Amino acid sequence: MEDMINSLKDLGLSRYEAKAYIGLTKIITGNADEIAEISDLPRSRVYDILNGLEKKGFVSIQRERPLKYEAIEPTVIFKKEKEELISKLNKTEQKLEEYYTNQISEIQAPVWLIRSPENIIEKEMDLIKKSKKSITMRIGFLLPQEGELMLKALNKLPKNVKIRILANPECYVDDEKIDILKIFEKNNHNNLEIIPAELPLMKMLICDGKELFGTFAQFNKENNSIYPQTAIGVCNKYEDICSNFDYHFIKQFKQISQTIPK
């Protein structure tokens, strides 16, 4: 009996409500006096208790004289409560996982993985917003809506931040074409340079030569169309590695720019 009462209390019932519901399941339907007697409840409280159970979806009231109360089938109640609990747990798990993957302690290691297009884009926006000196990017592909969000963040940077981008002219994501260069034509940052190039299907962003974020995804080998849900971001804060990548990027950027007719 106590185990059942405690289980029902876990579902949000008071002790008296739990006892009333347990008692009512033994007779299925009854008036207030009958329920008070079988549940060993004070008669002066039973109407309030039963009204509370109705509001919580555990009993239904038949509007007759005297009022009749009917227990909602336990299977129905527990199925609903289980579904709501699982839904809440799943939402909490998902949100905590987002916090965890985006804020993994740098003490563990300055390299970590970030999954899902939403989290990857959020991390890129964070890196762009905190840039003080430079942004360098190799853009082999863009995720849906990523280019517009990236451009908006870049345009808000101080004008002294140097932005250099090598990009494939276009890419395909879930067989939908994305015109990469056309998106960045709308930039209004006077310190942004973008050059078309033939790049592998990956993306690399380096912030101030100190933090590198690379994105990889599976793709259709027949038409090179990216599968966005497979995307994985790799964040690297080893400064020697980041500065080395940044140095070679700038060197490559200058070499390619010299081949473009003025």
The full set of domains in the chain, from first to last, is 2-73 (1.10.10.10), 108-259 (3.30.870.10)
pLDDT at position 102: 60
> Mean per-residue pLDDT for 14-36?
93
Band of residue 107 on the pLDDT scale cut at 50, 70, 90: very low
Q: In what side-by-side order are the strands of the sheet with 211-216?
A: 111-115, 232-236, 211-216, 202-207, 134-139, 162-167, 192-196
Helix and strand totals (H; E) in the chain: 9, 13
Q: Output the average pLDDT for the chain.
A: 89
Q: For residues 252 and 138, is the Cβ–Cβ distance under 8 A? A: no
The answer to whether 151 and 184 are in contact (CB under 8 A) is yes
* Residue written as token pair 């747990």: 89
Taking only the tens place, the pLDDT of each residue in 157-203 is: 999 999 999 999 999 999 999 999 999 888 888 889 999 999 999 99
Token pair recorded at residue 131: 């840039």
Q: Does residue 104 have a pLDDT over 60?
A: no
Contacts of 125 (CB under 8 A, 6+ apart): 149, 150, 153
pLDDT of residue 1: 83
Give the residue among 108, 150, 146, 110 at the shortest CA–CA distance from 129. Answer: 150
Give the range among 96-100, 123-127, 187-191, 218-222 with minimum mean pLDDT: 96-100
